[in-house]
Structure 1
Amino acid sequence: MTRLKVLNSYVDNLTMSQTIEKVEQIIQKKIPTQHVVINANKINLMGKDSTLAAIVNSSPLINADGSSILIASKLLGKPLVERVTGIDLFINLLNSCEEKGYRPYFFGATQEVIAEMIRIIQTSYPKIDIAGYCNGYFEEEQSLEIVRSINKTEADILFVAFSSPKKEYWVHHNLEELNIPFVMGVGGSFDVLAGKIKRAQKYGKKWAWNGLLDFFKNL
């Protein structure tokens, strides 16, 4: 696996299929592992938050979520082979769960959103054995209790649907207590899958260019 440096972040130069292969290796090893993605907004957040930057850069698996990351990599002479968005990886891993019997746990969003998403998953992926789910509304002192509850399910994958940087912080702070092999922050993916919000354009040229201008200020 080739790891490149794009501005203030590392990123793994992987295709979607190579990423899924890495995830499956992580699941087999059964060592709790944090996955992250980077985009223009994350790069900007990392430029202002050294702790977040350290969390992201210490993650064993980092994908390029934003098209502006691909543009930046080309301009810097370190072209990435493919954009691997968080939501596309999320959906591909649902397919893997159905095909290979991995048991996912879903954590985050409102109760209404997560209940609707679970209903849709059960309809669209009837063979998936859902380990469990919980909405994302809790007090910080409840985190350990939630982690213990998740651990009891013996899930293979934990999808955490918080916004950044909350999801990166929560996963990092609780990773040692979790016994879930693969832990992935998925942002607003639950809302998208539940049909509550529309997915952002896959290639938003104006957004990508503006984001690119913003994070090149970090040079």
Structure 2
Amino acid sequence: MTFVPSFDPSLFSGAPVATAPARAAATHRNAPGTLRVLGLPLVSASTGEVIDHLLQPGRRSRVAFLNAHCGNVMARDPDYADALATADMVLPDGIGVELAARMTGQRLAANLNGTDFTPALLAQAARRGLSVYLLGGRPGVADAAAETLCRRIPGLRIAGTRDGYDGLRDEAAAIAAIRAARPDILLVALGVPAQDLWLARNGARTGARITMGVGALFDFLAGRVRRAPAPIRRARCEWIWRLAMEPRRMARRYLIGNATFMARAAMHALSRRSRADWLQRGLDLLLSAGALTLLAPLALLLMLAIRLDSSGPVLFRQTRIGRDGRPFTMFKFRSMHTDAEARRAALLAQSDREGICFKSRHDPRVTRVGRLLRRFSIDELPQILNVLRGEMSIVGPRPALPEEVAAYPARALGRLRVNPGLTGIWQVSGRAEIGFDKMIDMDLAYAASRSLLLDLMLISMTCRAVIGGRGAY
């Protein structure tokens, strides 16, 4: 059946995200990045990046989603676990999966839940003249969902619909009907785990380029289930809304299930960390929380001084590369004028330091207050927030810029095996006076021999380095 749309929708888009260095492994030249969460390679990319990848000509993909409920089912159903493991792409859905990633020191680029992601995919598919088939739901639900999609997405071609009851009693007939309709995209709404098991078994036989299990999407589109208001969705609390709307049906899934999932994620994170990791993380939390409390009055005075000295924000934010090549936003007190990044290229020839990393003793971009901040390394204090968030440690290699990492020789990538730090061997040994090759030697030695005792020694040496100011500019 074919529907004619009647009005223009608001289309979906995703902002591009910073990516890991070019040396990161990828199964396709344009493949989105992945992070391993609960043993599965979850996509870590924006909505737009994933859609562009899926819609590449000639590409065939079976797509699955992972949320807290899926994680619980996966733990007790080996067939479903296999269906997720063999999917071409697993997308992260919900705050639970995001927290599970953070427990292992990782940060997913976006929440790609099916209810928002699928209409965005279909909007782009319509622009390219592609068709979609809707399979599942109670009788009449897929038809109503198709009508809603056509009203919202101009030019969307519906290849056909089929319910998940009588329409699936004869599996062979259902597959034959889908093949005859020749859809580019097949959406299956049978619930977890049935939809992914069906697609793992039959997806390739349908002939569709993209097959995807979409859970309750048809019910939302058909108006049978009301979605949470936008503010609740932005707060990542849609599960609370679902629980309030259907307390008897959803209580077990959300109250017991969410707690079970978080416990399982915590145990998985514990199993991945070494003794050195846990000792370092404990020290990081203890020292950073104490420093944040003690230094809060000083931080307020510094913020005022920066504001009075030059125009622009108090904090400077910059993308740096962390452990295992993961990008993160590093915080510092702003010590330069706001056009510093634009002027950097013109100053590269004035670097006082050998190798890849740029440093200039008489950098004209530095403000008056900034020179004082840099002299005593006070500009680094906001990185305590990065330590609390698990993106940095108190002790570790200097956090590198993406363009620096992209130019690293293979040997230098070994310094990314540990978290970057506020202080470290390089920082207490002369900082900017140390050449690039010697810095790499120091960082590799630290990564190979780090321990709680070594971290404590380096922290104690940091005070002397800060007061002496050697290499600080």
TM-score for the superposition, normalised by structure 1: 0.89
CA contact (8 A) 2:167 2:174 kept: no
Match of 1:92 in 2: 120
Select between 56-65 and 140-149 the one with higher mean Cα deviation: 140-149
Matched, 1:216 2:276: no
* 1:2 aligns to 2:30 (yes or no): no
Which of residues 178, 181, 186 is equivalent to 1:150? Answer: 178
Q: Within 1, Cα distance between the matches of 2:109 and 2:73? A: 24
For 1:88 and 1:7, how far apart are their aligned partners in 2?
Answer: 23
Paired positions, count = 216
Distance 2:124 2:187 in 1: 14
Whether 1:119 and 2:147 are equivalent positions in the alignment is: yes
* 1:215 maps to amino acid: R
Q: Which residue of 1 aligns with 2:54?
A: 23
* Structure 2, unpaired ranges of 5+: 1-31, 241-253, 269-473
Structure 2 residue 85 is matched with structure 1 residue 36: no
| AA of the residue aligned to 2:131 | R
Q: In 2, are the aligned partners of 1:108 and 1:114 still within 8 Å (CA)? A: yes
Counterparts of 2:153 and 2:114 in 1: how far apart (Å)? 19
1:80 is paired with a residue whose SS is: coil
Residue 149 of structure 1 and its aligned partner are, at CA, apart by 0.8
- Superposition deviation, residue 213 in structure 1: 2.4
Cα offset, 1:169, TM superposition = 0.5
Separation in 2 of the partners of 1:50 and 1:3? Answer: 22
Runs of 4+ aligned residues of structure 1 deviating over 3 Å after TM superposition are: 138-141, 205-212
Equivalent in 163, 177, 198 of residue 135 of structure 1: 163
Question: What's the CA shift for 1:123?
Answer: 2.4
2 CA distance for matches of 1:125 and 1:2? 29
Normalised by the length of structure 2, the TM-score is 0.43
Amino acid at match of 2:262: L
The alpha-carbon deviation at position 29 of structure 1 amounts to 1.2
Higher mean alpha-carbon deviation, 61-70 vs 124-133, is at 124-133
**Structure 1 residues 20 and 105 mapped into 2: Cα distance closer, same or farther (>3 Å)?**
same
Q: Could you tell me how far apart the structure 1 residues matched to 2:225 and 2:266 are?
A: 31
Q: Tell me by how many angstroms 1:211 deviates.
A: 5.9
Post-superposition offset of 1:9: 2.6
Q: Provide Cα deviations, 1:150-184, integer angstroms capped at 9, x if missing partner.
A: 01111100010110000011001112312111001
Q: Which amino acid aligns with 1:143?
A: E
Cα distance change, pair 23–74 in 1 and its aligned pair in 2 (3 A): same
Partner of residue 109 from structure 1, selected from 112, 125, 137: 137
In structure 2, how many angstroms separate the alpha carbons of the residues matched to 1:46 and 1:95?
31
- CA–CA distance in structure 2, aligned partners of residues 10 and 47 of structure 1: 16
Cα distance in structure 2, aligned partners of 1:30 and 1:179: 12
User: Does the 8 Å contact 2:55/2:125 carry over to 1?
Assistant: no
Instruction: Give the corresponding residue for 2:93.
Output: 65
State the match for 2:210 in structure 1.
182
1:171 is the counterpart of 2:192? no
CA distance in 2, matches of 1:93, 1:214: 33
